[in-house]
Chain A
Amino acid sequence: MSMRNTTMRYGTLAGLALAVFATSLSAAEPLPGIQPRSQAPTLGTPMSADDITAWNLTIFPDGRGLPPGHGTPDQGGTLFAAHCERCHGVEGRGATADELVGPPTPPTDADPNKSIGSYWPYATTIFDFIRRNKPPETSGSLSNDEIYSLTAYLLAANKIIGTQDVIDAKSLAQVKMPNRDGFVRIDAP
């Protein structure tokens, strides 16, 4: 790109930028069609620690981000029948939505099962997904205790934990799923 073209192109934009944002132009040669980053206005507003707490829904596999609370498979079974069975079937099989309880066949099986117990690498994902999305018609309506209970129910039904085990932030992060090491990263570090 020649200097003249650059000047012309950014000359036009400069008027606009100055009028709207009072942004100064840098002399750096931009990538075609991309303005230099230094030319951009800074229009974000700071997030406070409280803002971040309110927004942050991330739960990491090591348990960071899990809220306080706890639940048991029994409590979860009752909730499951009330809120989940309609789409996921009795005991998590056989209706229109994904099978949530499957045979504990390993992924090497000729007809492998890709449901929670045999395929999912991390138990924290169960809590996270239920909290985000379940039940779909009234997502966000379950308490943390209820989500822990449903998570416990699904883990017990998949024979990952015992039927009397209590699931909370600490115990959930400690659950080791059978297929934890079953994945190879392709396009990521």
Chain B
Amino acid sequence: MAASLNADDLQAVAGGGLLHRRLLLKSGLAMATALAAPTVAQSAGPDAPPVLPENPSSPSWLHQPGKPFSSYGSPSRFENRVIRSIGANRDLPGNGVSWTPLESLEGIITPSSLHFERHHNGVPDIDPAQHRLAIHGDVSAPQMFTIDNLLRYPMRTQTLVIECGGNSNAGWHYEPIQRSVGAFHGLVSCSEWTGVPLAILLDQVGVDPKASWVIAEGGDAAIMNVSIPLAKLMDDAIVALYQNGERIRPENGYPLRLIVPGWEGVVNVKWLRRLHITTEPAMARNETSKYTELLPTGKARMFTFVMDAKSLITSPSPGQKMHGANIYEIKGLAWSGRGRIAKVEVSADGGRSWAEALLQDPILPRCFTRFRAAWNWDGKPAILKSRATDETGYVQPERDVLVAERGRNGYFHYNAIVAWGIDEDGAVRHVYA
């Protein structure tokens, strides 16, 4: 198949056989070649036994009626392994996380059912008729809003990444963790959020010009609270009622979630019930004991809200297998809490040389951007990396640079370049390189 491409197309633009991204833009031929190459997730290699239905030209579902309508759909039973992996406390099963299976998903939207979770004391079963949003503190007219009333306000929709400040924390370990990309980096998900711009409600309660902080509180059995600078909330926060077109799922904050674009997950308070307008932070547990990063100097970074640019190769990735020398499509995700992704580069030689990946539309601020690159793998050991640059010029750092700057005891905000080692058999492993 590769032979049908012209010689220029297959000219590597970086070490290890990375091809020019224009190859992916060519109509028909080039795209088909990239897609027809054995995809790492399937066992389509020459040694793999063919997995064909007994009679693909006339399967049984052509000859009997299918199931009737369903009032609420669900995935195919053949996709039942595409699930969140869960890490919870043994004595308190509602405390822990679940990771998005990034390696199994395409495009940029995370299905709501696969959105990552971080709960402190379980998922509350909130009756929206009994839920209120209270806004009080340094305001002239403290008010409570019902969900029914909020549904009557003008709304805004934004497609946004939410990333936990603790995502990817295994990256600080001395040895590279061997897990799927989702179970390592999957405390990040991307949804379309719709709700009332918070500035509208803040205007209506009459915020005192002296005020500078807002303490946001959730309605779970941890009554989780965090302090957020008022200016950011005035600027672009949403009190969201909808996720991916439907009302927010309970585990994502039903009936109301504070959405703070680009900022770490913990401030995107789920089950939002109270906003206390003040002049100083509360110094709550989740902004002191946690979500702070201890540096080698002994000082700790605090209120590190912005999630810096990051990228990951989701295919090929650990747990998947390459099947022999061929042209592969490398694909991955990039995002930045500071705005749009400007560029993603991919390396197949451990970072010695880089080729620019194709960024797939849409490229939205603070949203997943899907990138793709064509790779003519020669079947020899290789090290794949991706490196994101955002529109502010911020470049995702190499791991040794991040570790030198932050030490190993910070735990939160790990966004270093991720390296996958490919061996001669096509197995993919997480490596530090």
Contacts and interface: CB of A to CB of B under 8 A. Distances in A.
Contacts of A124: 283
A44 interface: yes
Interface string A109-128: 00010101001111011001
A97 B92 contact: yes
B365 to A, nearest CB: 13
A60 B145 CA distance: 25
Interface string A55-85: 1111111000000000000000000000000
Interface string A24-53: 000000000111010111111111000110
Contacts of A34: 154, 156, 197
A125 B289 contact: yes
Contacts of A122: 283, 288
Determine the main DSSP class of A at the interface with B. Answer: loop
A44 B221 contact: no
A86 interface: yes
A60 to B, nearest CB: 6
Interface stretch (A129-137, A143-151, A152-160, A164-172): A129-137
Contact of B89 (A20, A96, A132, A182): A96
A170 to B, nearest CB: 18
A46 B222 contact: no
A133 B222 contact: yes
Nearest to A47: B142
B294 A40 contact: no
A125 B136 contact: no
A47 B215 CA distance: 17
B289 A58 contact: no
A96 to B, nearest CB: 5
A107 B222 contact: no
A35 to B, nearest CB: 4
Interface residues of B, number: 66
B152 A41 contact: yes
Contact of A56 (B136, B157, B284, B409): B136
Contacts of B94: 136
Interface string B316-342: 000000000000000000000000000
Interface string A173-189: 00000000011111111
Given A114-B289, A184-B302, A186-B303, A41 B153 contact: yes
Given A133-B221, A139-B222, A43 B300 contact: no
A97 B143 contact: no
Nearest to B157: A33
Given A47-B142, A57-B225, A132-B224, A184 B90 contact: no
B135 A44 contact: yes
A55 B274 contact: yes
Interface of B: 89-92, 94-95, 120-121, 134-136, 141-146, 149-150, 152-154, 156-157, 196-197, 199-201, 203-205, 212, 215, 217, 221-225, 229, 263, 274, 276, 278, 280-285, 288-289, 292, 294, 297-306, 409
23 contacts: A37-B200, A40-B154, A41-B152, A43-B146, A47-B143, A51-B144, A52-B142, A56-B276, A59-B282, A61-B283, A86-B91, A97-B92, A107-B298, A107-B300, A114-B409, A120-B289, A121-B283, A125-B288, A132-B224, A184-B302, A186-B302, A187-B305, A187-B306
A-B interface, 5 closest residue pairs, ranked by CB to CB distance from nearest: A44-B143, A108-B298, A35-B154, A188-B303, A43-B149
Interface of A: 20-21, 33-35, 37, 39-47, 51-52, 55-61, 86-87, 95-97, 106-108, 112, 114, 116, 119-122, 124-125, 128-129, 132-133, 136-137, 139, 182-189
